[in-house]
Amino acid sequence: MPDHLAAPSPLPEHHKLAAFAGEWNGEEMVYPSRWVAGGPATSRVTARMDLNGFYLIQDTRQMRDGQESFATHGLFTYDREDRLYKLFWHDSLGYYPPSPASGSWTGKVLTLVRGSLRGNARHVYEVVDDNTYNLKIQFSPDAEGWNDVLTGVYRRI
């Protein structure tokens, strides 16, 4: 088959997302916001590399006070066009994001930012080691002053 007809294969940037693949237990702090009262939470995260290695598909179920309180479905990928990582984020609040979060790695930290009519969200994923990562989700009305919405430490099961 001629090269121009060969299916594309994942780049090293796609493979970097595999750091988050696996089963994880999270200890979280939810900060008071207009959507939810603050307090401690736990989460179970299931993530896998899929679709020929181009995507990390991540599902999270958060528990507070013995009940499921929040759920997310995230699709992470690397966009070879603009050379940025993308996060397509869906959650149980039901808002549809007008566009994916976009960002890049700095060392062991992947930072992704998205905007909507409700404001801006920033997701900061820090790889601590092969079995631990930290997450901070922040909100800003103007993409300048950021307030924590959730912080968490996730350990591989």
Q: Tens place of pLDDT for every residue, the chain, 157 residues?
A: 555 678 899 999 999 999 999 999 999 999 997 777 899 999 999 999 999 999 999 999 999 999 999 999 999 999 999 999 999 999 998 887 779 999 999 999 999 999 887 789 999 999 999 999 999 999 998 878 899 999 999 999 9
Return the half-sphere exposure (C-beta side, CA atoms, 13 A cut-off) of residue 84. Answer: 12
Q: Are 48 and 55 in contact (CB under 8 A)?
A: no
Number of domains in the chain: 1
**Is 4 inside a domain boundary?**
no
Q: Does residue 102 fall inside a structural domain? A: yes
Cross-strand partners of 127: 133
Any domain includes 42 = yes
Could you tell me the CATH number of the domain that includes residue 49? 2.40.128.20
Identify the CA nearest to 105 among candidates 123, 129, 91: 123
Asked, for residue 1, whether it belongs to a domain, the answer is no
**Which CA distances in Å does 94 have to 89, 91, 127?**
11, 6, 28
In this structure, is residue 73 part of a structural domain?
yes
In a domain, residue 2? The reply is no
Residue 5 lies in a domain: no
| pTM given for the model | 0.91
Domain range for 30 is 10-156
70 assigned to some structural domain: yes
Helix, strand, or coil here: 18? helix
